Structures are given as C-alpha cells and as structure tokens.
Amino acid sequence: MLSKNIIRVVIIEDDEIIRKSYTSIINDSEKYICTADYDNFEEAIKNISKDEPKIILIDSVLPEITGVEGIRRIKSAYSKADILVLTFLEDDKEIFDALCAGACGYLTKNTKPENFIRALDVIVRGEASMNTNIAKLVLDSVKRTKKNPLTSKEIEVLHQIADGKSYSMIAEKLLTNKETVRSQIKNIYKKLPLFTKT
C-alpha cells in the first residue's frame, strides 16, 4: 500500500520513449509515483477513477483525440486531479486552449528532469507559472467576455506578467510574495474555463 504522502501521477502519452522517460523520472523521485501510464486516451479514461491520481500529464496531441477534448473529458469524469498538458513547442494558442479546457499548467517535452519535478512541486503547492504571451491571451479574453470572473488583483498580476515583470518584481509591487503571485496565477487558470461559457 502506498504511503499517504506519496503523490500519485498518471501519464497519457502515445510516444513510448517519452512516456517511459517520464515514468522513470517520477518513480526516481521521493515524493511522486506513476501509478499508471497510458498510450491511448480511451484506456486512460476508463481507468482514471481507479488510478486516483493527484496529477495527470496529458499529451497535447493524441492519435484519437485532441489534448483539449481529452482534458474536458477527464475533468468531467474525474475532477479531483490537476492536469498538466505536455507539448513539444510552446505554442501559446494551444496552451491557452488547454488552460481554458481545465488544465492548470503545461510542460514542454524537452524539460530537464530536475525542472520536471519542480513543476510538479509547484502544482502540489497550489501554485502555477505563466509566460508573457499567455498573460496577453488571457487579458484579450477578459476584454471580450461579458462577465469577467477575475478579481482586480488577478487582473493586475496579468498586466504585470504581460509587461514582462518577474514574479519577484510583481510581489514587490503588490506587497506580497512570489508564492502568493503563483497562487493567484493558479486561481486564474481555474477560472479560464468560465470564459468559454460566457
């Protein structure tokens, strides 16, 4: 039986080399264990409730389904997990669409092992990261939406990121700390699916 402190991760990735590499990185860590890895979406969705993951890593391009549709279906079937989308390129539109579907972050497939684990740590702490272009896409959505679900502080964080400010600079300006800034980013990600419903 797994220790309660070990965080369960599931991987959905059709490339066997990448999938096995991630599995190995996760299982070599002290905090995480890959309880299941799938090369196709249908098998994953059937078993996801039994796997009980805290984090799900899903490929942005699977043979039988888009990453965005896969994320929506996972959120509908099993809402307890945080979802990270795996992508080869930092395609901002693709990442933004994945975030709007319910992902809470992304990882590029060339991420170094130590940064890979750090990204999982950030998610577990209830935080998230965001780049300048994603911030601009979110702000564009805010302008277009009839009912904006974001708080004034979250909007300010977006403007600061869009202006290229570091998390340290944002924290200093808002009289807070970097961890709080990252938490606000995660809150923004959680609210992005609301933009597709307005």
State residue 197's pLDDT score: 62
CB atoms within 10 A of CB 90: 12
* Residue ranges per structural domain of the chain: 7-124, 132-195
pLDDT at 198: 47
pLDDT at residue 108, as a whole number: 86
Predicted confidence pLDDT, tens digits, the chain (198 residues): 556 689 999 999 999 999 999 999 999 999 999 999 999 999 999 999 999 999 999 998 888 898 889 999 999 999 999 999 998 876 788 888 999 999 988 888 888 888 999 999 999 998 888 889 899 999 998 888 878 899 999 999 999 999 999 999 999 999 999 999 999 999 999 898 887 664
Fold of 132-195: Arc Repressor Mutant, subunit A (1.10.10)
Q: Where are the alpha helices (DSSP H) in the chain?
A: 16-28, 41-51, 67-77, 92-101, 113-124, 132-144, 152-162, 167-173, 178-195
For the domain 7-124, what is the CATH superfamily, name and number? Response regulator (3.40.50.2300)
Instruction: Supply the pLDDT for residue 3.
Output: 64
Instruction: Check for a shared fold between 7-124 and 132-195.
Output: no
Distance CA 68, CA 187 (A): 19
Give which of 20, 18, 23 is closest to 35, Cα–Cα: 23
